[in-house]
Structure 1
Amino acid sequence: VVDLALGLEIERLPEPQFDVLLRRKVRVIQIDPFSVSATAKIRYALKLVTGEVMSFEMNPSKITPETCPSETVVLVTGMSGAGKTTALKVFEDMDFEAIDNVPLSLLGNLVLGRQKPFNAPGLSRPIAVGVDIRTRDFGIEAFFTRYDTLVSAGEVEAKLVFLDCDDEELRRRYEETRHRHPLAADRPVADGIAHERRLVLALRDRADLVIDTTGMTTGEFKRLLQGNFTSPPENSLSIFLTSFSYRRGVPRSSDLVFDVRFLSNPHYDESLRDQTGLEEAVGKYVSRDPGFMEFFDSLTHLIEPLLPRYRAEGKSYLTIAAGCTGGRHRSVFVIEKLALWFENTGQKVQVLHRELANSP
């Protein structure tokens, strides 16, 4: 019996652990219907409780999603408030089975026993599991024991992703949402954050991928995960170009950053001040700078030989950022011109003008 009813907000008696159906005693499993992959939790819970694959048949889907191989298992952990719930939703959009806060004692059975669920070939998908300090029986040593077991079993490709965030932004997020930090209790949020950071430091050191979500938009976060965990063609490199304002900080996901504040600034031309680097007049103004063409040629000559080296290294994405004072004129034009250069070399790129995207 699976109870998908919303929990009442008033006090009530403990939920029954068993029910009687057709004169048989059946275990009751209570699941929040709006949590990540509630149906997946049902399947795994039943499988773990009974110890065997369910017997009813399912018609396998004819659609083969272009995602990670089915043997991929991603464990998502990190600082509370750094974006684990968002990450799991992104993984779910990428056709992962996404499950949050699975008890560590069940992790091995869930992952290693999940190939071909329901005994139906072709239904297996990659899985993303959220694990943090709120997980039942969580402990650093226990976590590494389970994780090392997954890796040494050789049946799956296990990846550990650690989500980090600046302490001040974590504090602000908790204050804005009015959520209580799991380790703060009656103490200030900052104390809970500091305590947690000490506890999870070893996880960060062992992670295959560390993502700092400080100042990162949901779109940037999604793009970063997709760049790492979708299955692009062999040796492909996804290239992202972004312009930004130094007043608002350098995008943390940037691999290569170029400061273009030395170029002539259209801001001081009143006829161009309210325009952007997307406008032809602004582009002509910046291009007339005596040093522009020499700079741009040097820029492309620097980038071009790096691309095959990044591909050979197995890098799946590359973010190139250009910044100026306001992020609306010079950096926008440089990124647009760089995008055109990539296009002329036969490479597809994605472009984001951060300050224009954030404009009212």
Structure 2
Amino acid sequence: MTDPEYAGAESTVPGAGRIREGDLTPIKPVESELLVVTGMSGAGRSTAANALEDHGWYVVENLPPQMLGTLAELMSRMPQSLPKLAVVVDVRSKALFADIRDSLNALSASGISFRVLFLDASDETLVRRFEQGRRPHPLQGNGRMLDGIAAERELLADMKSVSEMVLDTSTLNVHELGSAVTELFSESGPVVLRLTVMSFGFKYGLPVDANFVADVRFLPNPHWVPQLRPHTGLDRDVSDFVLIENNAAEFVDRYVHALEPVLDGYRRENKHYATIAVGCTGGKHRSVAVASELAKRLAQLPRVTVSTRHRDLGRE
């Protein structure tokens, strides 16, 4: 009986000898990846598309959502020619964009798997970027730029809520955004589960892309220890003060234990990216030390990759 995953277990090829069972190597089917990139105008969609293209993705920009199904079907028929397809869908398609959820639901119903990357940024950042580029917002019309941004946020609210990955680019320049996209999608094959552990200062605001927020202001603050104040949570003396002298290691143990079933659930639900934010007052001492230790512990879990980012370090 012939196994369809083999080139023929008992067949004769013209010009060749007889092929016997055991002589053949299994031919693994090519797994295609479909990524839908969307988000706020000015948040970096073009930069993300360029980074994806640099790493072998076939990128289609400004595609009307109604054509997603046709393109996905083509990808499924030609997996070797289109193993990685990224489609940028945004409000430039105007009235056609209103049907994007219907188009994504149709993809799911047809059995085509996909992921959604949503790029976001603060209103202040978006205004600054549009002013630097001397271009109006696509939904601005005769109103103010903020009116256009508000209209776009309302239009995209539903998409953001269902997106698997939300990346806030407010503090990223084009090079840093390119690096972030590279870290997410440069490896061959589907990403398993990528975690970003981010320290931050509450006085600078919550990270908008955080899936979990841990508040470590319950720990004694090294800021009030004169010999520790100039140092950061990356320094050994501060780290020991936070983690050892004040038993924060127990908090890290229990937090990792609490996250394990959540991360398992993410894998089952095909969610590949999550941000865990750890905050203290200024983002210099406690949050940095705890975030670094938390990242080390999470990196020991199976099927995860972990990166660390200290958002507000150096702002004081």
Q: How far apart, in 1, do the equivalents of 2:274 and 2:70 lie? A: 36
Does 1:93 find its partner at 2:54? yes
Q: Could you report, residue by residue, the CA deviation over 1:203-235 in whole angstroms, capped at 9, with x for unpaired residues?
A: 556x5446263635354686478548966678x
Could you say if the C-alpha distance between residues 250 and 174 of structure 1 is closer, same or farther in structure 2, counting changes exceeding 3 Å? same
Q: CA deviation at 1:305?
A: 4.9
The letter of the residue matching 1:69 is E
Q: Could you report, residue by residue, the CA deviation over 1:185-219 in whole angstroms, capped at 9, with x for unpaired residues?
A: 443212222344455556556x5446263635354
Q: Could you report, residue by residue, the CA deviation over 1:267-314 in whole angstroms, capped at 9, with x for unpaired residues?
A: 223322222122222223224544434434433443445444443444
Does 1:172 find its partner at 2:128? yes
Q: Normalization by structure 2: what TM-score?
A: 0.69
Residue in structure 1 matching 2:306, options 344, 349, 353: 349
SS in 1 for 2:91: coil
Q: CA deviation at 1:95?
A: 1.9
Q: Normalization by structure 1: what TM-score?
A: 0.62
SS in 1 for 2:92: coil
Percent identical pairs in the alignment equals 36
The letter of the residue matching 2:31 is P
Contact 1:216/1:252, CA 8 A, preserved across alignment: no
Aligned residue in 2 for 1:52:
none
- Long gaps (5+) in structure 1: 1-67
Could you say if the C-alpha distance between residues 228 and 314 of structure 1 is closer, same or farther in structure 2, counting changes exceeding 3 Å? farther
The letter of the residue matching 2:273 is Y
Contact 1:241/1:321, CA 8 A, preserved across alignment: yes
Q: How far apart, in 1, do the equivalents of 2:150 and 2:97 lie? A: 16
Could you say if the C-alpha distance between residues 204 and 272 of structure 1 is closer, same or farther in structure 2, counting changes exceeding 3 Å? closer
Residue in structure 1 matching 2:83, options 125, 130, 149: 125
Contact 2:92/2:138, CA 8 A, preserved across alignment: yes
Q: How far apart, in 2, do the equivalents of 1:200 and 1:157 lie? A: 21
Q: Which moved more, 1:105-114 or 1:330-339?
A: 105-114
The letter of the residue matching 2:221 is N
Q: Which structure: larger Rg?
A: 1
Report matched runs for 1:147-226 at 5 Å: 156-200=112-156, 207-209=162-164, 211=166, 213=168, 215-217=170-172, 219=176, 223=180
Report matched runs for 1:246-325 at 5 Å: 246-287=202-243, 289-325=245-281
Residue in structure 1 matching 2:31, options 69, 77, 82: 69
Q: CA deviation at 1:333?
A: 1.6
Q: How far apart, in 1, do the equivalents of 2:253 and 2:69 lie? A: 53
The size of the alignment, in residue pairs, is 284
